[in-house]
Amino acid sequence: MCGAVDLKISKRISALEPSATLAVMARAKAMREAGVDVVALAAGQPDFDTPQHIKDAAIAALNAGDTKYVSPAVGKNELRDAVCGYFRTYGGLDYERAQIAVGIGAKDLCHQAFAAVLDPGDEVIIPVPYWVSYPEQVKLAGGVPVFVEGGDGPVSNLGPEQLRAAITPRTRMLVLNSPSNPSGKIYSRSELEALAAVLRETDIVVLSDEIYHRLTSGPQPAPSFASAPGMIERTVTINGVSKTYAMTGWRLGFAGGPAAIIEAMGKVSQQTTSGAVSFVQTAAVEALSGDQSCVETMRAAYRERGRRMWQALSAIAGIHCEEPQGGFMLFADVSGAFARLGVSSAAGFAEAVLERAHVAVIPGEAFGVPTHVRFSFATSAADIEEGMRRLAHLLGG
């Protein structure tokens, strides 16, 4: 019999935090499978099915034998051309094919961008609150996350003063996310231009995650950072089909940016995934170029659900939140309810409401704010109503 093997895990991977979002969703699923009636207000994905015309495009592609490796790895030419048109229509951004990369979801492209730009020790400014994967992907690329709050507290947009104060000789990148996950806040065009004025004095590269850009409370997409003066030359704009077209499981994202960075991202793709699935890319062409009425249907539904959840939460003592401007999440300050539940953190709050009320939410520690929790309204109106009823009953509101 052989002796025990020391299966040592690298320090780089050991230092990564697991995804709190996936962990809560997995626990809620396990409770449901055990017979517990859990209302899940945690998922970061649409509850809508993928529109039929997009599924039909994938089926036709499969039947036509569209099942081989894709060349080049950065994406089919017809999809990259469709992405150029999409960016032009909905972001006012003029890219050429060589400035477009396609990947296995927006998350994959964020990872590629960090890997392409960062050297060990490079600093990346990440505004608080932040999506859970940004700091972990920065660390995976050897970078150092630098967390910065906005001027009006932990859930406010980053301002030029805070940005300028956070920049050091080691700063290599800035991450922006608008509409924000988890807060749903949107950077206005004037706010983006104020940040751009600071960045024009530097060589900092910007990763602008705009995956929710068309899911806004109003009819217009959120402004794209690369459209600010002088920013398209230094910005990698991340987007995809997952949220806008209810295609999370299809794993298809796209990015636009400086050709040198896109080429470097392509090298990462060549040596890791070899690119996104062929027939999914064909379906994505239909998503971006075909009938867009499905987007307005979903956007209007999220707007109504978000308003309903915001009103219900605002009526519960000890909870405060702003009405979301985009996306399908609410980020609520629940610290006023800690004492009633006998907890001292958002993690304790989330644990208590899951165990006592069977409502699943994501604690704010994962987003850098231990006083808040994230509620998702990417679920049915009935689930929202029942979840809010249970929460109000638990908290006596």
Domain 11-49+294-395, CATH number (from 3.30.70.2520, 3.90.1150.10, 3.40.50.300, 3.30.530.20)? 3.90.1150.10
CA distance 270 to 73: 6
CA distance 270 to 370: 39
For residue range 197-223, list pLDDT tens digits in order.
Answer: 999 999 999 999 999 999 999 889 999
For residue range 142-188, list pLDDT tens digits in order.
Answer: 999 999 999 888 899 999 999 999 999 999 999 999 999 999 999 99
- Going from the C-alpha of 215 to that of each of 1, 12, 143, 218, the distances in angstroms are 59, 35, 31, 8
For residue range 30-72, list pLDDT tens digits in order.
Answer: 888 888 899 999 877 899 999 999 999 999 999 999 999 998 9
Structure tokens at 105: 């979801």
For residue range 234-260, list pLDDT tens digits in order.
Answer: 999 999 999 999 999 999 999 999 999
- Going from the C-alpha of 353 to that of each of 152, 340, 349, the distances in angstroms are 29, 12, 6
Sequence spans of domains, the chain? 11-49+294-395, 52-289
CA distance 275 to 281: 10
Which residue type, as a one-letter code, is found at position 361? V
Query: Nearest CA to 266 among 112, 114, 143?
Result: 112
Handedness of CA 387, 388, 392, 395 (dihedral sign): positive
pLDDT of residue 23: 76
pLDDT of residue 2: 61
Q: Average per-residue pLDDT in the chain?
A: 94
Half-sphere exposure of 102 (CA within 13 A, CB side): 31
For residue range 63-121, list pLDDT tens digits in order.
Answer: 999 999 998 999 999 999 999 999 999 999 999 999 999 999 999 999 999 999 999 99
For residue range 284-306, list pLDDT tens digits in order.
Answer: 999 999 999 999 999 999 999 99
Domain 52-289, CATH number (from 3.90.25.10, 3.90.1150.10, 3.40.50.300, 3.40.640.10)? 3.40.640.10
Helix (H), strand (E) at residue 240:
strand 235-240
Model confidence at 25: pLDDT above 90: no
Contact 309, 108 (CB under 8 A): no
Structure tokens at 376: 């998702």
Model confidence at 1: pLDDT above 60: no
Look-up: residue for tokens 């929460």? Answer: 391
